Amino acid sequence: MASGKAVAAGALRTVPLAGELTASLINRAADRYGLAAAHVLRLWTCRNSPTRHDGGGLRADAEVVLNEAGRRVLAELCGVEPQVLARALPAFTVQDAEISTGREAAVAQARWRAAVAVAGPAAFGCRLCTARRTGQALRAVRYLPRWRRVCVRHGRWLLDADAVGGAAGQAGAGRADEGRGAAADRRGAGAPGSVGPGARGPLPRPA
Ligand SMILES: [Zn+2]
């Protein structure tokens, strides 16, 4: 419980983006406080470990599911009402029996899951749009169906959030998101990248 006070909760406001991954919001909130995501994640008792890319970097399509106590901690950290988070974050109200019931249900807990197993495929948000809306030079990750993977405003293709390392790590994006995002729980629904045609296949190169 004491860990919940490790960060002066709510001193800085971080507003969620529509459809954003909870893990992405935690990452941005950490950045607001000038902290690494790993540091802020200590606010929750994590029941499992995130998986990593072969190169060691954390996967950007990893999602975090919280229990009721954990949701309150995130709301405090972001300085917004839980209802605001519930409206914006598809995974926020997802129940995970492993952490929602039992003797320790009152402890703020988190579990890593593959985003696709929680609320669908995830993609990196447009960097320019994210900067405009949040004032942060961070890549947000959002749930987005494949047919909506274009930022019309900036004429950019939005890459799969699991396409971080290797060839798909587009200039800057891969580096920034690797290590910041998080990892996936392979027990979720198999390797997230294996879901659907084109999940790992060739993607249009960003301009
Ligand atoms: Zn854009």
Task: Say how many Å lie between the CA of residue 66 and the centre of ligand 1.
Answer: 29
Q: What are phi and psi for residue 172, nearest 5 degrees?
A: 85, -50
Residues 6+ apart with CB under 8 A from 188: 113, 114, 116, 117, 118
Task: Say how many Å lie between the CA of residue 155 and the centre of ligand 1.
Answer: 7
- Which residue pairs, CB below 8 angstroms and at least 24 apart, start in 37-44? 37/180, 37/181, 37/182, 40/7, 40/77, 41/110, 42/3, 42/6, 43/3, 43/4, 43/6, 43/7, 43/73, 43/77, 43/108, 44/70, 44/73, 44/108, 44/109, 44/110
Q: Give the DSSP H or E segment for 88.
A: helix 82-88
Task: Say how many Å lie between the CA of residue 132 and the centre of ligand 1.
Answer: 9
The domain ranges of the chain are 12-183
Task: Say how many Å lie between the CA of residue 153 and the centre of ligand 1.
Answer: 5
Task: Say how many Å lie between the CA of residue 185 and the centre of ligand 1.
Answer: 29
Q: What confidence score (pLDDT) does residue 7 get?
A: 53
Could you report the per-residue pLDDT of 151-174, keeping only the tens digit for each?
999 999 998 888 754 333 333 333
Q: What confidence score (pLDDT) does residue 121 get?
A: 95
Task: Say how many Å lie between the CA of residue 31 and the centre of ligand 1.
Answer: 21
Q: Which two tokens mark 49?
A: 């470990």
Could you report the per-residue pLDDT of 92-120, keeping only the tens digit for each?
999 999 999 888 899 999 999 999 999 99
Q: What confidence score (pLDDT) does residue 40 get?
A: 96
